[in-house]
Structure formats: structure tokens, C-alpha cells
Amino acid sequence: MGISRATLREAIKLLAAKGILTIKRGSGTFVSPLEDQAADVFGVTYLKDKVKLINSWFEFRLILEPSCIRLAIQNGTPQELQEIIDSAKRMEALNILEKDVQKEAIIKEDQLFHIAIATATHNDIIQLIMPSLAAAVKDSIITATQIGTDVKSIDNALTYHGKIAEFIEMRDADGAAMAMHYHLAKGIRDLNTP
């Protein structure tokens, strides 16, 4: 078929999550009966899996990112720290845009904010996981939109990016780490209380 095994596995997982395919261990992968497919017309099964994935990413980020902000304050250049602060200010300025334009711009700026923090750590391992983390940030806002918690998600980013930036300006690593912790913990609460 001219595709990689990884691509095929992802496609099968997606179709199984949507109820189109059924995976039977030891037997194979089969097309689901029509009545099973019709039961999940809106992809709720897939969405539940997506929410679980986003929760897992938030938990991982809760372990990683407060420490990253400490490392960024310790290792970042003045220009790199200023870029994080500027990103928070750009995010705040997006609050006045129309909602549709705002959401896309905030997704992009949210990713830039977290990538700027990772860059300022000057840690090679953290740099390697950044593409996955940037995708997780984007995915969390898209999923929040699908389940109706996107306004909370955007408000969270607008509020806490600014607070994190304030602590960075003061070079207060403990305060910045605490603000990052609250930012991510609120993200988990918001995602799970539509």
C-alpha cells in the first residue's frame, strides 16, 4: 500500500476508537457490525479516548514544566527570558480579537510560550520532546473546543501566562514554578468539568 507500519497502526487505532473496526486479540482486526458503528455516530468513544490522552499529557506536563521554568530562569539568556515575557504579552493582546480569530491565534501563541520556556532551559532532552509537547498543547485546546471547555482553556492561558511572565521578570523561579503548576492543574480541572 506504500505506507509505513506506524501510519497503518495509527489509522487502525483511530478507526477502532470510532467503532468502525473491532480488534480481537489472537484473531485479527475486523469491520464492526453496522449496529456498533451506528451507536457512536458522533465519535464520543474517540472523544473519551482523546480526553484521556489530554489528561495524560497534562499530568506529564505537571511533572515537567514547573521544573522547566526553574531551569529556564537559571539557564536562559536575557533575550530568551524576554521572549517568554513578550509571548505572554502577545497572548494578552489577543484577548480583544474576534472569538474565531482569537482561538487560532491563542493556540499558536500558547505553543510559542511553552516552546520558548523549553528553549531557555538549554537542555537537549527537553528540546527533543518539544515537538510532542507543542502538539499536546494544540490538541488540548482543540479537544477543549470539542467538549465545550475552550473558553475556560483560553482564560486559563491568558491568566497564567501573564502570572508566569511576572515571576520571570522578577527572576523568581519558585513563583514561576508555582504559577506553572497552577496553570496546568487548572487545565486538568477545566478539561474534566465541562
pLDDT tens digit sequence for 76-123: 999 999 999 999 999 888 877 666 667 778 888 988 999 999 999 999
At residue 72 the predicted structure's pLDDT band, cuts being 50, 70 and 90, is very high
> What CATH code is assigned to 5-38?
1.10.10.10
The domains of the chain are located at 5-38, 44-192
* Percent residues over pLDDT 70 in the chain: 87
In the block, residue with C-alpha cell 491568558: 158
Question: What pLDDT score was predicted for residue 34?
Answer: 60
Query: What residue has cell string 537542555?
Result: 123
Task: Name the percent of the chain lying above pLDDT 90.
Answer: 42
CA-based nearest residue to 21, from 39, 1, 37: 37
As to burial, measured by CB atoms within 10 angstroms (0-12 exposed, 13-18 middle, 19+ buried), residue 7 is exposed
Q: Would you say the C-alpha torsion 119, 121, 127, 131 has a positive or negative sign?
A: negative
The CATH code that applies to domain 44-192 is: 1.20.120.530
More confident residue, 139 or 173: 173
DSSP conformation class of 76: -
Do the domains 44-192 and 5-38 match in fold? no
Task: Give pLDDT, residue 46.
Answer: 59
Instruction: Report the pLDDT averaged over residues 149-162.
Output: 89
- pLDDT tier, 31 (very low <50, low <70, confident <90, very high otherwise): confident
pLDDT at 133: 82
pLDDT for residue 77: 97
Report the alpha-carbon distance of residue 39 to residue 71 in Å, rounded.
49
pLDDT at 177 over 90: yes
Q: Which residues are paired to 30 by β-bridges?
A: 22
